[in-house]
């Protein structure tokens, strides 16, 4: 699927819920949500339809609220930037981090993820945390993701800026980086698409994370009570096991 088709499918078409009466503390405006192609959580099909685990759960929740909305696909860094400057009302799926908390508030858990380090060498978790590894081994994650910022914050050598998982995997396969940090669920999908067996790569699971919808402070200020209603409506759309995920910081 080429990027132009993805962009057109997301930005021009999106997904609109039919206008219905708004009740309770739902927003008095159409909710504008930004996201990225991040299968299996959210993705587009060649005919412009959008699907995925997160799409289904967000759609279910907003349907419970009878909340009109639209969803636009874009690069992940732009999704966050558009909420920060008030052009969009929220972005998903995302894990919590301090940078995002400055301009948005995270919902309850929509899904969960497992952070896994992939490489061609069996480095071991102990070596991964050493200063020698951090200073001399190039590691990558999707630019703008919590994983990318986590690597930078913890002193790893991060000098690549892949904007999606496909370009991230290209860096690893082309040996332009020694390891990549990605969500297991997402990486499994991308490797499967390429016909690569996941067990052909060395894997180290680092953390588990909760994922939700970040709603911009400006939007929540205009619609007090919306987040509480969203979280209540979300409960019937998410399996109990999902809520039990651990971790706090895509």
Strands 43-44 and 50-51: antiparallel
**pLDDT 10s digits, 105-159:** 999 999 999 999 999 987 777 888 899 999 999 999 999 898 999 999 999 999 9
**Residue carrying the six token digits 């499918």:** 9
Per-position DSSP letters for 108-175, written without gaps between them: S-SEEEEEEEEESS---HHHHTSHHHHHHSBEE--TTSHHHHHHHHTT-B-----SSHHHHHHHHHTT
Q: CATH number for the domain including 216?
A: 3.40.190.10
Q: List the structure tokens of 74.
A: 């874009």
* 127 CA to centre of own chain: 28
> How many structural domains comprise the chain?
2
Mean pLDDT (whole number) for 199-203: 93
How much is the pTM?
Answer: 0.76
CA dist., res. 212 & res. 31, Å (int): 16
Helix 53-65 / helix 226-234 crossing angle, nearest 10 deg: 120
- β partners of residue 53: none
* Region of poorest pLDDT, from 13-17, 30-34, 190-194: 13-17
- Is residue 26 very low, low, confident or very high in pLDDT (cuts 50, 70, 90)? low
- Residue 129 falls inside a structural domain: yes
Give the side-chain half-sphere CA count within 13 A for 23. 7
Q: Which domain holds residue 142?
A: 114-208
Confidence check: pLDDT of 17 > 50:
no
- Ramachandran class of 125: left when φ > 0, alpha when ψ lies in -120 to 50, beta otherwise: alpha
- Residue 59 falls inside a structural domain: yes
- Is residue 63 very low, low, confident or very high in pLDDT (cuts 50, 70, 90)? very high
- Is residue 11 very low, low, confident or very high in pLDDT (cuts 50, 70, 90)? very low
pLDDT at site 168: 97
Same domain? 33 vs 93: yes
Same domain? 125 vs 236: no
CA dist., res. 55 & res. 137, Å (int): 36
Same domain? 198 vs 148: yes
**pLDDT 10s digits, 109-120:** 999 999 999 999
Q: Which strand (E) or helix (H) includes residue 207?
A: strand 202-216
- Residue 248 falls inside a structural domain: no
pLDDT at site 241: 64
Same domain? 70 vs 12: yes
> Taking Cα atoms as reference points, which of 96, 41, 97, 31 lies closest to residue 63?
31
Mean pLDDT (whole number) for 168-179: 96
Same domain? 95 vs 139: no
Confidence check: pLDDT of 93 > 90:
yes
- Residue 21 falls inside a structural domain: yes
């Amino acid at each position: 699927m080429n990027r132009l088709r993805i962009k057109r499918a997301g930005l021009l078409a999106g997904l609109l819920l039919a206008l219905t009466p708004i009740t309770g503390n739902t927003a008095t405006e159409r909710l504008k949500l930004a996201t990225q192609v991040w299968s299996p959580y959210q993705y587009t099909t060649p005919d412009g339809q959008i699907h995925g685990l997160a799409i289904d759960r967000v759609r279910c929740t907003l349907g419970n609220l009878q909340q009109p909305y639209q969803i636009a696909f874009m690069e992940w860094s732009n999704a966050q930037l558009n909420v920060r400057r008030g052009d969009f009302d929220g972005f998903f799926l995302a894990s919590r981090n301090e940078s995002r908390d400055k301009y948005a508030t995270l919902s309850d858990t929509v899904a969960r993820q497992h952070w896994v380090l992939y490489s061609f060498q069996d480095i071991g978790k102990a070596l991964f945390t050493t200063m020698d590894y951090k200073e001399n081994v190039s590691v990558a994650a999707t630019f703008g993701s919590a994983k990318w910022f986590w690597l930078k914050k913890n002193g790893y050598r991060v000098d690549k800026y892949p904007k999606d998982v496909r370009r991230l995997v290209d860096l690893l396969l082309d040996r332009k980086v020694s390891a990549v940090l990605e969500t297991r669920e997402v990486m499994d999908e991308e490797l499967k698409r390429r016909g690569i067996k996941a067990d052909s790569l060395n894997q180290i699971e680092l953390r588990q994370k909760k994922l939700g919808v970040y709603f911009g402070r400006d939007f929540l200020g205009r619609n007090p009570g919306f987040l509480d209603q969203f979280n209540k409506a979300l409960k019937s759309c998410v399996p109990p096991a999902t809520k039990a995920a651990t971790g706090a910081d895509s």
